[in-house]
C-alpha cells in the first residue's frame, strides 16, 4: 500500500532521517514510535508532501508520490491529521467536514456565484455526507458549533471526521492521543479500529505505548533518524535494542 524507500532527509548539516525503508500493508494499523527527535514527524511531513526529501522515494500503491504536493495526495486517497490539531477555527464543525469533501465536489467559482442548480445539488449532497462522517465519529450534536470553541479532545475527533470525509485509502495520524484524557483515548482506540474496519489503512505516530501496543498490527521504531526495529507489538516489546533506546544503556 505505502512504501518508503531509502528515505534520507538533511536540514543543513543535520541528518533528520537516514536511509529509512519500510512498507505498510493494506488494512493494517501501523505504529511508528521512537524517542523525541527520532524523526517521526519529519517522516510524516515527507510522506504527506509537506517536505521534499533529500534522497529516497515514497510510493503509494506502486505510484511514486515523492514530489507531489499535499493537494495532489488527497485525491489519491492519502490524508493526515496533525499533532496540534489544525482545524478551521472560524468555521463551524459541519463546515470543517464539508471542506473535507472539497475534492469530491467540483463546482467552479462562476457556478457558485450564480447558484447553478448542479452546484446546489452538490452542496446538499456534501452536507448530507458531512453529517454522516460526524455521526461516524460521534460528534454530530456539535455540528453547528464554531470549531475554535471545541474542547481539545472533540477537536481531535473533528479532525478525524474531516480526514475521513476525503474518502481516504490511507490515513496518517500524528500523535492522535496527545492531549486526550483516558476516556477519550479509549474512544480514540475504538474509532481507529472502526476506521480500519471501514477499509482505511492507518499509520500513526504515537507516544502512548499502551495505545500503540493495544491497536497496532505492526510497529516501526525510529531512533536518531534511523530505523531501529520493525515487528509485531510483542516482538518490539522484547527487542533488546528497543529497550535500550527507551531506557538508556543498562
Partner 1 sequence: MLSAYREIVKFLLLVAIVLLLPLLIQEGYLLNVMVFVGIHSILALALNLLLGYAGQISLGHAGFFGLGAYISGILTATYSINPWAAMLAAATLVTLLAFIVGFPILKLKGHYLAMATLGLGIIIYIIFNEAVDHTGGPSGLSGIPNLSLGGFSFDSDLRNYYLIWTFTLVAIGLSLNLVNSRIGRALRAIHDSEVAARVMGVNARLLKVQIFALSAGLSAVAGSLYAHTMTFVAPASFGFNFSVELVTMVIIGGLASIYGSLLGAALLTVLPEMLRAFQDYDIIVYGLLLIVITMFMPGGLVKGLPGVLTALRRKAAKEESGDA
Task: Give the binding range for partner 1 (CB under 8 A) out of 117-125, 183-191, 195-203, 226-234.
Answer: 117-125
* Shortest distance, position 250 Cβ to partner 1, whole Å: 40
Query: Of residues 90-109, which lie at the interface with partner 1 (CB under 8 A)?
Result: 90-91, 95, 98-100, 102-103, 105, 107-109
* Shortest distance, position 229 Cβ to partner 1, whole Å: 29
40 contacts partner 1 (rule: CB under 8 A): no
* Shortest distance, position 215 Cβ to partner 1, whole Å: 23
From 75, 56, 81, select the one nearest 4 (Cα to Cα).
56
156 contacts partner 1 (rule: CB under 8 A): no
CA distances from 218 to 27, 57, 110, 181, 236 (A): 11, 21, 48, 25, 9
* Shortest distance, position 142 Cβ to partner 1, whole Å: 17
What backbone phi and psi angles, to 5 degrees, belong to 66?
Answer: -50, -40
Buried/exposed 174-183: b ≥16 CB within 10 Å, e otherwise: bbbbbbbeee
* Shortest distance, position 122 Cβ to partner 1, whole Å: 8
Rounded CA-CA distance 56/102 in Å is 31
Rounded CA-CA distance 83/180 in Å is 12
- Contact yes or no for 209/246 (Cβ under 8 A): no
Mark residues 157-196: x for contact with partner 1 by CB under 8 A, - for none: -----xx--x------------------------------
- C-alpha cell of residue 91: 468555521
201 contacts partner 1 (rule: CB under 8 A): no
Rounded CA-CA distance 210/212 in Å is 6
Rounded CA-CA distance 73/9 in Å is 20
Binding test (CB under 8 A) with partner 1, winner from 25, 113, 190, 243: 113
Rounded CA-CA distance 159/96 in Å is 8
Binding test (CB under 8 A) with partner 1, winner from 75, 151, 186, 199: 75
149 contacts partner 1 (rule: CB under 8 A): no
Binding test (CB under 8 A) with partner 1, winner from 30, 41, 48, 66: 48
Question: Site residues (CB under 8 A) for partner 1?
Answer: 48, 50, 69-71, 73-75, 79-80, 82, 86-91, 95, 98-100, 102-103, 105, 107-109, 112-115, 119, 122-123, 126, 162-163, 166
Amino acid at each position: 500500500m505505502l512504501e518508503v524507500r531509502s528515505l534520507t532527509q538533511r536540514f543543513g548539516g543535520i541528518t533528520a532521517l537516514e536511509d529509512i525503508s519500510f512498507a505498510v500493508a493494506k488494512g493494517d494499523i501501523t505504529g511508528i514510535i521512537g524517542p523525541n527527535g527520532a524523526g517521526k514527524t519529519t517522516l510524516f511531513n515527507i510522506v504527506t508532501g509537506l517536505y521534499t526529501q533529500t534522497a529516497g522515494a515514497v510510493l503509494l500503491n506502486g505510484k511514486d508520490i515523492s514530489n507531489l504536493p499535499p493537494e495532489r495526495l488527497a485525491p489519491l486517497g492519502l490524508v493526515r491529521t496533525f499533532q496540534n490539531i489544525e482545524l478551521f477555527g472560524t468555521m463551524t464543525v459541519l463546515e470543517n467536514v464539508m471542506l473535507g469533501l472539497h475534492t469530491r465536489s467540483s463546482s467552479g467559482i462562476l457556478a457558485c456565484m450564480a447558484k447553478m442548480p448542479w452546484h446546489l445539488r452538490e452542496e446538499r449532497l456534501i452536507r448530507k455526507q458531512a453529517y454522516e462522517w460526524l455521526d461516524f465519529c460521534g460528534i454530530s450534536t456539535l455540528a453547528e458549533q464554531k470549531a475554535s470553541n471545541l474542547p481539545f479532545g472533540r477537536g481531535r475527533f473533528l479532525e478525524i471526521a474531516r480526514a475521513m470525509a476525503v474518502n481516504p485509502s490511507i490515513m496518517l495520524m500524528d500523535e492522535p492521543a496527545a492531549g486526550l484524557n483516558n476516556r477519550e483515548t479509549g474512544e480514540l482506540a475504538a474509532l481507529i479500529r472502526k476506521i480500519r474496519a471501514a477499509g482505511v489503512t492507518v499509520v500513526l505516530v504515537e507516544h502512548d505505548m499502551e495505545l500503540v501496543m493495544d491497536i497496532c498490527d505492526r510497529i516501526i521504531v525510529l531512533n536518531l533518524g534511523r530505523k531501529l526495529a520493525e515487528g509485531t507489538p510483542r516482538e518490539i516489546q522484547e527487542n533488546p535494542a528497543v529497550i535500550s533506546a527507551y531506557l538508556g544503556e543498562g
